[in-house]
Amino acid sequence: MVGTRFICAVHGKLQPQADPVKAPPDPMIGPQPWEARTIWLQDWCRLDYLKYEAYPITCFENQEFLVYLEGRLYGLEESRLESELLHLAHCALSPENRITSLTNWLRAADGDFLIFILHKKTDIISVVNDLFARLPVYYSWDDRILVISRDLQYVRQKKTARLDPMSLTQYLVFGFPLGQKTLFEGIYTLPPASLITIDRQHCRADIHRLLRHNLEELLPPPGNVHDHAGHLVDLFRVACANRAAGSGKNIVSLSGGLDSRAVAACLKRENLPVAAATFLDHRAGNIADFQTAGEIAAHLHLPWHTFYLAPPCDRASQTLLRLKQGANNLEMNFILNFLDGLVRTFGSGLTCFTGDGGGDTLGESRPYRRLSTPASLMHYLMERYRIFPLRLATSLTGVAPQDFVMVLADLLASYPERTMTRKYQHFFCLEVATKQYHEGEDRNRQYFWSVSPFYAPRFFEAALSCPDDQKFGLRLYRQFLGILSPGLENLPYADWGAPLGSWKFALLYAAKNLSRKQPQLTRSIKHLFRSSPGRAPHPYPVQVLTKQLSACPSLAAYFSVDALKNLVGRIDTLTIGQQWTLFTLTSLMEELSAQENGAPRPGLVSGASALSTSPLPHPAKRSEEKIQRRSQGSAIR
């Protein structure tokens, strides 16, 4: 994975080692050429990075400090960057008001970043990440050796860690490990707004949370829905403009939803150079999304680039496993073809805008039924977000269900909010974002820089401060879109085939809310229609799971063989999400075993090429051609 690798001995010396930074051998893993460089090397620590030419890493030093920045600080002129980072370095060294100074700096900073500061005289190293942990960072610490990296595989190899049974169970239930946990024992994610201090003179390393998001501190401002939408548009314009600064190629990953259209409209409104890109999967399963994206591009008069993707394949699955080590579900392996196509079309110097976080900030984030106790909150979360029922998950991993519940209860108790409603919103807007949205977007950064203006701190806090009743029925979102580009709110919301404010949307919204009060009902309905076009189970994970069960004895080290055989034996009764989640974990186990033993991977099958050149299904092609003529975009085959 692109980015930083750091290892140090808090006391003693490091073992001599070969250069740990190597360019990826697989041409599918991002643009070429790659640069591997050592920034700082002593007998007790080393700081390296791996990057392609356009990836943002800045490093400078003077007589007092060495300062290293991975990522970007937005809204800051390039001429001021060095002085701003030196100011941060002096804050980190201040003995009296160090924490206060760093906290105040972080509150004012808008960026996606990881910063290292080395004070040369004392060998004190300070490490700071951004307010939302937008760049996932992993670390391990064994009282002597501290490893910090943007590459989870690098930390795992230094730690030689096994998979963690509790994390596997959480992944099966929620789709991600909770809190700071990763899938590996003894390896953790760095929380948002954290400070790591390494003090060699006193043989210490400490982690301190500078800020914790408390949603109960966000008080609703006065004003009606139009007032709030107008204020949010002003903040959003600044966020979009700052993230586009310095980039001549701004590409919006455009879907038929609300979030990406808001980003595209804002960039267009600011007269920034922007184009839209949309993919159609190999089954045309997202055809409604694809068609609506074309209508949005035409409405905004944007160039629209279309990509037609090949079916899931073994090569893409292996690539995604190596990049994210299970932090991305392998159901997303097809997206690598899209990312590769964007690089080949626009080059790696593009800035890709996503709509991540839009629904969390502008949509309803409160629970859909009353939660009055911690037990009711836990029960609702395990209903609303579950992939596998807890009973099935624990039968696979051997974790006691009561231990799972206890860990979940401890996590929710650690949130600073007091009410169950706000704790739910914290889980919805921050826990899920850190472990799913940010990890997903970080995959994109292996190819190009990826941003979401919804995570600009001022916008994020202002949007979450707006009254919940103004967000009901997406009223606030409708006003927001109408101010950005009049008429945009009247284009269909692709998921429901109806524009905001229409009677059809109102009926579907009411029905959806009723089903969200009882998530099991929604799950049962979806399961009934799992064989609808584009959502039928794909044979690829089913075939490979069957092979893995018979050819990969290493699975027994983590899963009950009997429970796994039972699941694979009735694989057709599992939902698509369950199949891919199970496949992700078994493939990771297989990959780890192959790396440890130097053996081939027996369970996987060969797959297809990167971008499909086969004809589209006729309905999709006719729709695409119709939209293409209006948007005057270019189709990439």
Distance of CA 425 to the CA centre of its chain: 18
Q: How crowded is residue 201: how many other Cβ atoms within 10 Å of its Cβ?
A: 9
Domain containing 62 equals 3-211
> What's the pLDDT score for residue 540?
78
- Verify that 131 and 252 share a domain, yes or no: no
C-alpha Rg value of the chain to the nearest Å: 24
> What's the pLDDT score for residue 551?
83
Domain membership flag for residue 141: yes
Q: CA-CA distances (angstroms) from residue 321 to 135, 335, 443?
A: 18, 13, 11
Calculate the average pLDDT of the chain.
88
Mean pLDDT of 23-36: 71
The one-letter amino acid at 237: R
> What's the pLDDT score for residue 31?
75
Q: In this predicted structure, which of 97-106, 129-138, 252-261, 517-526 has the lowest mean pLDDT?
A: 517-526
Query: Could you report the per-residue pLDDT of 94-130, keeping only the tens digit for each?
Result: 878 899 999 999 999 999 999 999 999 999 999 999 9
Mean pLDDT of 564-586: 92
H runs (alpha helix) in 570-613:
576-597
Q: For residue 263, which of 302, 218, 221 has the smallest C-alpha distance?
A: 302
> What's the pLDDT score for residue 572?
85
Please state the domain count of the chain. 3
Domain membership flag for residue 378: no
> What's the pLDDT score for residue 277?
98
The confidence band for 17, taking pLDDT boundaries of 50, 70 and 90, is low
Q: Which helix (H) or strand (E) is 65 found in, with range?
A: strand 65-73
The confidence band for 616, taking pLDDT boundaries of 50, 70 and 90, is very low
> What's the pLDDT score for residue 251?
97
The confidence band for 532, taking pLDDT boundaries of 50, 70 and 90, is very low
Question: What would the two tokens of residue 354 be?
Answer: 């996503």
- Verify that 96 and 143 share a domain, yes or no: yes
> What's the pLDDT score for residue 536?
55
> What's the pLDDT score for residue 246?
64
Q: For residue 520, which of 637, 369, 634, 622 has the smallest C-alpha distance?
A: 369
The yes-or-no verdict on residue 531 having pLDDT over 60 is no
Owner of token pair 């009606």:
224
Domain membership flag for residue 376: no
For residues 491 and 625, give the distance between their C-alpha atoms in angstroms, rounded to a whole number: 19
Q: Are the CB atoms for 114 and 127 separated by under 8 Å?
A: yes
> What's the pLDDT score for residue 620?
39
> What's the pLDDT score for residue 82?
96
- Verify that 136 and 47 share a domain, yes or no: yes
- Verify that 428 and 283 share a domain, yes or no: yes
The yes-or-no verdict on residue 629 having pLDDT over 90 is no
SS3 635: strand
The yes-or-no verdict on residue 524 having pLDDT over 70 is no
Instruction: Give the pTM.
Output: 0.92
Domain membership flag for residue 314: no
Q: Are the CB atoms for 151 and 139 separated by under 8 Å?
A: no
Mean pLDDT of 153-163: 90
Q: Are the CB atoms for 565 and 549 separated by under 8 Å?
A: yes
Beta bridge partners of 276: 252, 304
Mean pLDDT of 222-229: 96
- Verify that 128 and 144 share a domain, yes or no: yes
Beta bridge partners of 209: 194
List, as own/partner pairs, every contact residues 551-554 make where C-beta atoms lie below 8 angstroms and the sequence separation is at least 24, other chains included: 551/602, 551/603, 552/586, 552/589, 552/590, 552/593, 552/602, 552/603, 554/589, 554/590, 554/592, 554/593
The confidence band for 396, taking pLDDT boundaries of 50, 70 and 90, is very high
Domain membership flag for residue 226: yes
The confidence band for 421, taking pLDDT boundaries of 50, 70 and 90, is very high
Domain membership flag for residue 25: yes
- Verify that 571 and 432 share a domain, yes or no: no
Owner of token pair 């404010």:
501
Q: Which of 159-163, 211-215, 527-531, 542-546 has the highest mean pLDDT?
A: 211-215
SS3 521: helix
Mapped to the 3 state alphabet, what secondary structure does 462-484 carry?
HHHHCCHHHHHHHHHHHHHHHHH
CATH number at residue 136: 3.60.20.10
Q: CA-CA distances (angstroms) from residue 358 to 73, 208, 361, 388, 520?
A: 21, 29, 5, 27, 25
For residues 67 and 84, give the distance between their C-alpha atoms in angstroms, rounded to a whole number: 11
- Verify that 118 and 223 share a domain, yes or no: no
- Verify that 550 and 513 share a domain, yes or no: no
> What's the pLDDT score for residue 528?
57
For the CA atoms of 343, 345, 350, 355, the dihedral, rounded to the nearest 10 degrees, stands at: -90
- Verify that 163 and 284 share a domain, yes or no: no
Domain's final residue, options 182, 211, 240 = 211
> What's the pLDDT score for residue 368?
87
- Verify that 44 and 104 share a domain, yes or no: yes
Higher pLDDT, 143 or 177: 177
Q: Are the CB atoms for 289 and 494 separated by under 8 Å?
A: yes
Domain's final residue, options 484, 509, 528 = 528
Q: How crowded is residue 305: how many other Cβ atoms within 10 Å of its Cβ?
A: 22
Q: In this predicted structure, which of 7-16, 403-412, 447-456 has the lowest mean pLDDT?
A: 7-16
> What's the pLDDT score for residue 27?
52
Question: What would the two tokens of residue 101 be?
Answer: 């100074």
- Verify that 38 and 186 share a domain, yes or no: yes
Query: Could you report the per-residue pLDDT of 285-327, keeping only the tens digit for each?
Result: 899 999 999 999 999 999 999 999 988 778 889 999 999 999 9
- Verify that 13 and 89 share a domain, yes or no: yes
Domain membership flag for residue 81: yes
Q: Which helix (H) or strand (E) is 143 found in, with range?
A: none
Domain's final residue, options 211, 232, 258 = 211
Classify residue 5 by its DSSP letter: E
Q: How crowded is residue 211: how many other Cβ atoms within 10 Å of its Cβ?
A: 15
Domain membership flag for residue 324: no
For residues 344 and 28, give the distance between their C-alpha atoms in angstroms, rounded to a whole number: 11
The one-letter amino acid at 382: M
